[in-house]
Amino acid sequence: MRIGLLGGTFNPVHYGHLVLAEECLKKFCLKKIIFIPSAIPPHKKGKIAGAEHRYNMVERAIRGNKNFVVSRIELDRKEISFTYKTIQYFKRKYAQGQVFFILGIDSVLEIDKWKKKNKILEFCPFIVATRPGYQIQKIPSSIKKIIKIIKIPKINISSSFIREEIKKGKSIKDLLPLSVEKYINRYQLYQ
């Protein structure tokens, strides 16, 4: 079984995340994608919605897609979310399969800040998604040869853009699933 791990803050989850997951399923013949909201992201600054809110939004966004699941692994740890611990867990859980770690090019460009970076790169193949405004050439040559690049459709959506639009009172309906928009409105997140 081939499994994709898609970790992130998901603050909030949006169509960019969902398109990335679908593209990885197809291109790399994955059986499922596990969305892993981080509890306490070590490299994120600024206001982050509570972990339970972010988990609930992901759960709503992927509902109905049999190939997508959401994991509480990092939320239930109640500590800083280090990628190496999460990958170790899933490598053991799916020891008979193959695990891929999926991330955006923006994250891989900051990999030097990650705890146990060299160990992580040995654990499993990385699938790195392109993103508007980021250049593949800037990926460190030391890791360029061990990652797989996936070019996804140019969807210029980011969680930070969505949060800014909400603060301005603008519509976000074309940026994320309706179920997530309703959740954000119900709990008045990002206002």
From the list 113, 130, 118, 138, the residue with the least C-alpha distance to 43 is 113
The pLDDT score that the predictor gives to residue 39 is 86
- Name the residue range of residue 48's domain: 2-156
In a domain, 75, yes or no: yes
In a domain, 37, yes or no: yes
Which pLDDT tens digit goes with each residue over 32-75? 999 999 987 766 666 799 999 999 999 999 999 999 999 999 99
In a domain, 162, yes or no: no
Domain count, the chain: 1
Residue 15 in tokens:
């169509």
In a domain, 189, yes or no: no
In a domain, 165, yes or no: no
High-pLDDT (> 90) share of the chain, %:
65
In a domain, 171, yes or no: no
What backbone phi and psi angles, to 5 degrees, belong to 68?
Answer: -115, 135
In a domain, 191, yes or no: no
In a domain, 175, yes or no: no
Q: What is the CATH number of the domain that holds 21?
A: 3.40.50.620
Which pLDDT tens digit goes with each residue over 108-150? 888 888 888 878 888 899 999 987 777 888 887 778 877 899 9
Q: How far apart are CA 174 and CA 186, in angstroms?
A: 18
What's the burial of 38, exposed, middle or buried (CB within 10 Å: 0-12/13-18/19+)?
Answer: buried
